[in-house]
Structure 1
Amino acid sequence: MDAHALLTSQGWRGKGHSLHMTDDSIGLAKPLLLSRKDDTKGLGTKQHFTSDQWWMNAFDEQLKGLDTSKEGRVKQTVTTGKLNSIEKGSLGKYYLYTSFVRGGFLEGTLGDEKDSPISADSDEAPPFTDEPEPRKETKEERRARKEAKRKRKEVRAKVRAARRERKAKANKSESSSDADQEKRRRRAKKEKKRRARQEKEAK
């Protein structure tokens, strides 16, 4: 596949230009560089963790420190290797916890009433807050509020009553139309029977 021919057919202006039709400042003018893959592993795989075999190196170090010169006797000459650093006695029982730092306890935000600086029976004023104190309502204001509430209730009751009336009328008209249809059906049936009788008599 000729990538150059394909891109020029789609509007590319050539080497050194971005993929934008008119402006080189928009988009990339140079291709993206990809790292070469020289290993035989598949795409997306990383180097296996066993490539750094620290335990093998530690065991090799210990084995190199064994002295077998005396017949039938094996003596360890290396005592400061990596495996020696994790022996049971060298680290101590609580070695894992030595990296932690002891902190203090978090205090709660709610205290006892005894601990509060202002008790309920003290004469001191409460601490200052930005919120204004709620204003007490006068008698006239309370009357006006209750009167407005009563009027709203009356209006709601009237609306409900009108709705109920409309519903009742609709149900009544439906029932009356059903009754009229039933009457017409009966009349038509009677008329049919009468005609059938007249035709019988005429024969």
Structure 2
Amino acid sequence: TVEKPEVSFLNIGIPGPVFIRAASYIGGQLVPRSVTLELGKTYDFKVLLKARRPGDWHVHTMMNVQDGGPIIGPGKFIRITGSMSQFTNPVTTLTGKTIDIETWGLGDIYFYSFLWIGIGIAWMWYWCKSPVFVPRLIAVQAGKADSLISDTDRKVTMGFIAGTVALTAILMSSTNSAYPVTIPIQAGLMRDMVPLEIPEPT
């Protein structure tokens, strides 16, 4: 059996981030989050998209239904012209500052990505710098598994753990200082969507 659908989300089916969603409406009401719709009723909807990546893209309307999956609506090809380098996505924050979401924070993203990748590579290098597979297998089969981990290995491991915890705390404190104004994640369920008045067939 299929659960009665209670929660839905108005979506679009596109091949990656070739558009950005500017706004979505159901029954004339802005719906940035999931909604409840009444089974059997008819609703009008509108999704405003902003073109991002040039090309010919096939776009579908789509309704994601909890416990039911996506319901794909009609689709059509849309051609986007111009250059992606010209695309901007400016928004004004609660502090009145205007930022371009398309490029804002990219430096931090690169920094943190390469930082943790570097730490991961250092961790893997330490444990793989000596013969890894066959000698260790032979030692385990000979009942000498305890000899595979030396006191130095334990000290290095504790150093990695302590360094990771300390670095995480320092970076979290730095981030909180740089961005003191935050808002909760905007989640929740919107109710009372207004359906269309469809005359009864005669």
Same-fold call, TM cutoff 0.5 = no
Question: Which of the two has greater helix per residue?
Answer: 1
Larger radius of gyration: 1
Question: Which of the two has greater strand per residue?
Answer: 2
Larger RCO, structure (CA 8 Å, separation 6 or more): 2
